[in-house]
């Protein structure tokens, strides 16, 4: 099979579908400017992004709301298993177009089998790369297992200005929860969380019960030097213009 895009839609359900591709830019399941999209029991092995959620794109206008993927398996031979937020109204309609909002996304009970990406700018099993004046908020990743992958980052959460694809940086990323995410492997490079400037920030990122190679990462974990950021224990670079990153254990 090939790409399975959902664009400009309201109330779509996709279940028991396989998307397999080997050609350049062979995305799996893309969502553009849609609401109430539910993926259940899908399998993606793709030579680009397995699943994307974008705003204004390819003639479809507006943001995305209420997108769910659950009980599924993702395998990215290049690019990202999950990619959110890159494209929006600024590139398609002009930098003075109203900003798009991407919100209320749920990824639940997912297995990520592999990720291989040499380009540092395009890494991340979990990639929230916010561009084109987009607002990205209220995202949950719950009960996700990541196997050892060949090359890439575990997390890449950024507001950025990627001039190849965007006409403006994103506006904000906020309220993102990673709950019961487990990674076992050694192929990961340093993850990144970074904002753009004081007006375009990443905020309120919570990791609850993050386990990396059997070690639960939390702000009060034993053995963490008090002068370390908790992200250091998970090989996550927490950069500038980032507020309220928490690592909790329950």
* pLDDT 10s digits, 1-14: 445 677 777 788 89
* C-beta of residue 168 within 8 angstroms of C-beta of residue 205: no
Q: Are 80 and 124 in contact (CB under 8 A)?
A: yes
Read off the pLDDT of residues 193-217 as tens digits, 9 standing for 90 and up.
999 999 999 999 999 999 999 999 9
Closest CA to 167 of 83, 93, 59, 240: 93
Which helix H or strand E contains 141, and what residues bound it? strand 135-146
Confidence of residue 21 (pLDDT cuts 50, 70, 90): very high
pLDDT digits (tens, 9 = 90+) for 217-234: 999 999 999 999 999 999
Per-residue pLDDT for 86 more than 90? Answer: yes
């Amino acid at each position: 099979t090939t790409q399975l895009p959902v664009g400009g839609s309201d109330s779509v359900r996709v279940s028991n579908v396989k998307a397999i591709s080997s050609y350049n830019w062979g995305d799996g399941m893309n969502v553009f400017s849609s609401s109430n999209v539910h993926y259940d029991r899908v399998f993606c092995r793709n030579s680009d992004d397995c699943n994307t959620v974008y705003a204004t794109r390819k003639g479809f206008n507006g943001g995305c709301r209420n997108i769910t993927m659950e009980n599924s398996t993702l395998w990215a031979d290049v690019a990202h298993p999950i990619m959110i937020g890159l494209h929006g109204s600024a590139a398609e309609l002009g930098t003075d177009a109203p900003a798009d909002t991407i919100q209320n996304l749920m990824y639940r009970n997912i297995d990520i089998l592999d990720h291989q990406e040499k380009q540092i700018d395009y890494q991340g099993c979990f990639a929230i790369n916010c561009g084109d004046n987009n607002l990205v908020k209220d995202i949950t990743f719950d009960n996700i297992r990541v196997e050892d992958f060949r090359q890439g980052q575990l997390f890449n959460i950024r507001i950025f200005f990627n001039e190849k694809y965007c006409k403006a940086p994103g506006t904000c990323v906020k309220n993102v929860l990673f709950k019961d995410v487990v990674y076992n492997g050694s192929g990961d490079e340093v993850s990144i969380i970074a904002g753009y400037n004081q007006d375009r920030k990443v905020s309120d990122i919570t990791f609850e019960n993050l386990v990396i190679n059997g070690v639960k990462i939390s702000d009060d974990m034993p053995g963490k030097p008090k002068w370390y950021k908790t992200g250091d224990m998970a090989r996550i670079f927490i950069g500038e213009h980032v507020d309220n990153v928490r690592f909790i254990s329950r």
